[in-house]
Amino acid sequence: MRRKIGTLIATLLLLSAVLEGCRAPARRPAAEEPTISLYINQTGEVKRMKIEEYLPGVVAAEMEPTWPLNALAAQAILARTFTMKKIQEGGVKAHSTDASTSVEEFQAYDPTRVNDNVRRAVEMTRGQVIKYKGDYVNAWFYASGGPRTAASAVEGLNFNREPAPYIQSVPDPGMAITTPENKSWTATFTNAEIAAAVRKLTGQDPGPFTSVNIEAKGPSGRATKFKVGRLTVDAPALRLALGNDRLRSTLITGITADGGRVTFKGQGYGHGVGMSQWGARALAEQGKSPQEIIKYFFKDVELVKAW
C-alpha cells in the first residue's frame, strides 16, 4: 500500500512539473510611459509632460506634416529613440532638464505645426524605439542623401565617440522625388570666408590658397578631408563652419576656383547618416511600413515597444 501511495505521489509530482513547464511565461509588466521635463527656450519656462505628448511637436518640426503617414511614423520612431538616448546620456545639462526646444541643444520642436496626420503617426507607433543589441541607436536623419547614404557615422559626421555598426550605405530612393536643389546644388564662398572657417576650427591660419582640394573620401563618395592651403581639415566640420544650409552636404561632385572665390558643386542635403527623409517619403509612397522604412536605412536593428 505504501509503495502504491509513494508511486502515486511521485506521479503527481512529475505531472505537476510537466504542467508547470507547459505554462506560458509570466508576462512582465509594461514599462510606464516616461514623463519628461522640457525647457522652453523662448520663455525660459520648464514644462513637464508625457513623452508621447511631446513627440508630435518634434515630428511636425522635423518633417513636413502633410507628408505620407508612414514617413511621419518613421520620423516619430526616430524622435522617440533620440529622446530616450539623450535622456539616458544626461539630458540637457545646461538647463538641468531632460529636453529643450532648441535644435542646437536637443531637437526641433514646434507644436503649432501639429496636425491630425502627425498625431496619428505618433499614436500608431506609441512606445516604439530602435535598439541595436539592447542599446538605443543614434537616431540620425537628414533631408536627402543624394544617390547614396553615408557608409558610416565617421564618413558623414566624423562621429567616433562610440561604434555605430548599424549605419549602412544604401541607395536613397528619395533622389527620384526630391527637390531640384537637393539633386544638384552649387555653393560659392570667398577665400576669406573659407580661411575664417578654418581658423575657427583649427586655431591656425591656412596661409595663402587658390582653391580647396578633397584630401580623402569615404566609401559613399563623401569628402571626409579637405586640404585648404597648408592645412587639412575634417570635411563635416568645415561644412558646419561654412554653414550647412550653404554647403548642403559633403557629397561634392566638383570644386572650381576663380578670382578669390571657391565654388563647390554637390548632391544631397545633410550629413547622409541614417534615415533620409526624402527617402522615407519615397518608401512610404511605395507602401512600405514605418518599420520597413527604418530597417531599410539602419541594419541589424530591432524595433522594441518600450511602453
The per-residue pLDDT for 191 is 98
SS3 39: strand
Separation between Cα atoms, residue 239 and residue 235, nearest integer Å: 6
Length of the chain: 307
Q: Outline where DSSP puts E strands in 122-229.
A: 128-132, 135-136, 141-142, 185-190, 212-217, 223-228
pLDDT single digits (tens) 181-215: 999 999 999 999 999 999 999 999 999 999 999 99
CA 7 vs CA 3, 16, 17, 19, 20: distances in Å: 6, 14, 15, 18, 20
Identify the segments of the chain with pLDDT beneath 50. Answer: 1-29
Separation between Cα atoms, residue 233 and residue 246, nearest integer Å: 18
The per-residue pLDDT for 2 is 37
The per-residue pLDDT for 31 is 86
